[in-house]
Structure 1
């Protein structure tokens, strides 16, 4: 029975992959990875020798970044934040992923390291997707220029969406740690950025997401003091140098994930717009 269930999950994986790839044309910014199609292995490449080139530089073969992935503790809470608070749209969802291929695809590097260190894989955050003790659920959320994949690893007996997660969130949340990631949202030009941050925190708190916390440009000794800071301290606005016109703030999301919100106006907006145009010209000349 276990083998039949594993086979079922493997055969569903290509469908998810195809659906994910179809989003690429809609997406300009974000990061992530997609599991390979079932049956596709390195052996096929080895038998045929080196992977053939499709022509041009590697950069000319990159269409864009497909999505940004966030592993969450509470799928329903995270989904509510990204769809109902920030206004994203659900693209698709799938779940109950398990089995040998998906386990190795996602976790092989960490599993090898655990074996070399002679430690229980679970103690270093490696769920057992191979035998189905844990399962993976995913949901994709679309913004105008960003797709976010929410992932939750849960124990087999836990329900999808509202069940307890496989592991607790990291205690250390400083974005200065190497390998830290963040999601950056682009705020529209005509938006009052300071008011946006205020409204974001207020709406999140109304939904019980009091862990959604935006930084301030002024020092504070407590959250109470942070919240009392004046409205104009909600964002830092750069008005000179090469970043003139760039405004930003860092904020923790409902799952403890690092978020950034930016507004790009004036000189720096021209710089980024010009950079895209120059890149396209350069790639065309190398093709």
Structure 2
């Protein structure tokens, strides 16, 4: 199921990663948060905290609207609507302008090595809770630009029991959109829920990913989630890359102790935080180059690269919900965003890990054929707006001392120099074309009051059109987040107090790995 990639390819992309993106990378502290568009942000936050042991940062709850936020969130779609002569609403854009009737509401929850931002676009002209009524029809993980969050289950936990318990608690709590796939084929969702505990996850016992257990599921708003547990070879190789990058995670931290939030969640709070933000691409190497050469990620070396992944158990685990739904609706699986990657299908999945300071951006390609030269699976979201429930964005954490607007302008220029012409940020002000030249101060403007005082953000589409953000946590908001991290025991390279590398927290763990210059392709 996994075929080895030529070592020379790994070294080639590693060399590119080291030679480009350094200036931008030096001003990034990894991934600040993964943003999820929800039906109800506060209820979603309750699921992440009650079920998974995250800390709900209630002093950062927010709501806002206005012309500048309308432009910052949806400028690409607004310009497209103008060119087509249609109302932006037809392209999935809620009117959060001064004259509109929607607003952005949101919550933050904190895990060990990062935040999850939960947002909703809700009516502001009524006391009733009415969320923008746009839903994604194609929910499968193989859809182009689809995103997912992967959560890291602790080493000593029975993985299948963890999945079973999380599912049971979610159902009991009334979270009916939380649905888990199985590795075996099931006739309906009821049968899937009642499947044997032994069939609720996949564990690889051999090959390059020996020691990896994983499961696919939907979150409380139908967002795509994944669970990882990593022991043995997989844990070794992941650990090696974190040590080389000087990345941060509690999984490798000396003298780590559980906090009360995890303890209250019980078994399903036994987690190390976040593993990766996954996104689908139509060009594997183009996307890897974007994250490494433009943003300065570290591509994980051989053998941590999935090559030609397929098989019946993977087909079931990836697509069971969508397969059952397509059957119920009488829709052809391909038309429902499902690529057949079963054992004899002749199709494949490949992915690479792009490590930032705290976790990865995983780039995945679903290929309609046996080789990477074959066509990318054509399924794609029929929209580009972030307002569709279940959509996600990855937000990169910009150094407090950096000029956010200048950094974003540098990203645009670097991307263009590398041949990524469509990577353009939205502006605060109205423009005629996406990426139009404006003064730097018109890229973004920070919040000066309220719970988000000191927060600033810029929205951008990535190389394949994936949702990206660049954010800063300055002033009052930065102090709140740092305080919450210290209380939770979370780690980050953003502050000296939250970075275990400043006090030798990883010295013992990383002493088992050779220096980067001494590493070879075959450990």
Cα distance, 1:115–1:98 mapped onto 2, change above 3 Å: same
Deviation of residue 64 (structure 1)? 0.6
* Structure 2 partner of 1:133: 346
Tell me, in whole angstroms, the C-alpha distance in 2 between the residues paired with 1:176 and 1:60. 29
Task: Describe how 1:218-257 pairs up with structure 2 within 5 A.
Answer: 218-223=429-434, 226-257=435-466
Describe the SS at the equivalent of 1:66: strand
Deviation of residue 164 (structure 1)? 2.7
Tell me, in whole angstroms, the C-alpha distance in 1 between the residues paired with 2:183 and 2:378. 30
Tell me, in whole angstroms, the C-alpha distance in 2 between the residues paired with 1:222 and 1:243. 30
1:268 aligns with 2:477: yes
Instruction: After superposition, give the CA deviation of every residue in 1:160-184 in whole Å (9 maximum; x if it has no partner).
Output: xx54311153230101111111111
Cα distance, 1:208–1:194 mapped onto 2, change above 3 Å: same
Describe the SS at the equivalent of 1:237: coil
1:95 aligns with 2:307: yes
Deviation of residue 56 (structure 1)? 4.8
Task: Describe how 1:121-270 pairs up with structure 2 within 5 A.
Answer: 121-130=333-342, 131-159=344-372, 163-223=374-434, 226-270=435-479
Task: Describe how 1:15-164 pairs up with structure 2 within 5 A.
Answer: 28-29=113-114, 31-32=149-150, 42-45=195-198, 56-58=264-266, 60-91=269-300, 92-130=304-342, 131-159=344-372, 163-164=374-375
Deviation of residue 66 (structure 1)? 1.3
Describe the SS at the equivalent of 2:382: coil
Tell me, in whole angstroms, the C-alpha distance in 1 between the residues paired with 2:479 and 2:151. 31
Deviation of residue 191 (structure 1)? 1.1
* Structure 1 partner of 2:500: none
Which 4+ stretches in 1 moved above 6 angstroms?
A: none
Gaps of 5+ in 1: 1-7, 11-26, 47-53, 282-287
Tell me, in whole angstroms, the C-alpha distance in 2 between the residues paired with 1:56 and 1:45. 26
Tell me, in whole angstroms, the C-alpha distance in 1 between the residues paired with 2:151 and 2:299. 18
Instruction: After superposition, give the CA deviation of every residue in 1:83-142 in whole Å (9 maximum; x if it has no partner).
Output: 110000012311201110000010111011111111210111100101333210010010
* Structure 2 partner of 1:20: none
Describe the SS at the equivalent of 2:273: coil
Cα distance, 1:277–1:33 mapped onto 2, change above 3 Å: closer
Name the structure with the higher helix share.
1
Tell me, in whole angstroms, the C-alpha distance in 1 between the residues paired with 2:427 and 2:274. 30
* Structure 2 partner of 1:3: none
Instruction: After superposition, give the CA deviation of every residue in 1:12-37 in whole Å (9 maximum; x if it has no partner).
Output: xxxxxxxxxxxxxxx82382269x89
Tell me, in whole angstroms, the C-alpha distance in 1 between the residues paired with 2:308 and 2:345. 9
Instruction: After superposition, give the CA deviation of every residue in 1:264-286 in whole Å (9 maximum; x if it has no partner).
Output: 111111111122234459xxxxx
Tell me, in whole angstroms, the C-alpha distance in 1 between the residues paired with 2:481 and 2:322. 37
Q: TM-score, normalised by structure 2?
A: 0.44
Tell me, in whole angstroms, the C-alpha distance in 1 between the residues paired with 2:486 and 2:414. 38
Tell me, in whole angstroms, the C-alpha distance in 2 between the residues paired with 1:153 and 1:260. 25
Task: Tell me the C-alpha RMSD between the 2 structures.
Answer: 2.7
Deviation of residue 155 (structure 1)? 1.6
The more displaced of 228-237 and 162-171 is: 162-171
CA contact (8 A) 1:73 1:169 kept: no
Deviation of residue 62 (structure 1)? 2.5
Describe the SS at the equivalent of 1:241: coil
Cα distance, 1:278–1:220 mapped onto 2, change above 3 Å: same
Describe the SS at the equivalent of 2:292: helix
CA contact (8 A) 2:444 2:458 kept: yes
Deviation of residue 215 (structure 1)? 0.6
Tell me, in whole angstroms, the C-alpha distance in 2 between the residues paired with 1:207 and 1:229. 22
Deviation of residue 44 (structure 1)? 4.7
Instruction: After superposition, give the CA deviation of every residue in 1:154-210 in whole Å (9 maximum; x if it has no partner).
Output: 022342xx5431115323010111111111100111211111011100111112211
The more displaced of 237-246 and 81-90 is: 237-246
Tell me, in whole angstroms, the C-alpha distance in 1 between the residues paired with 2:309 and 2:396. 29
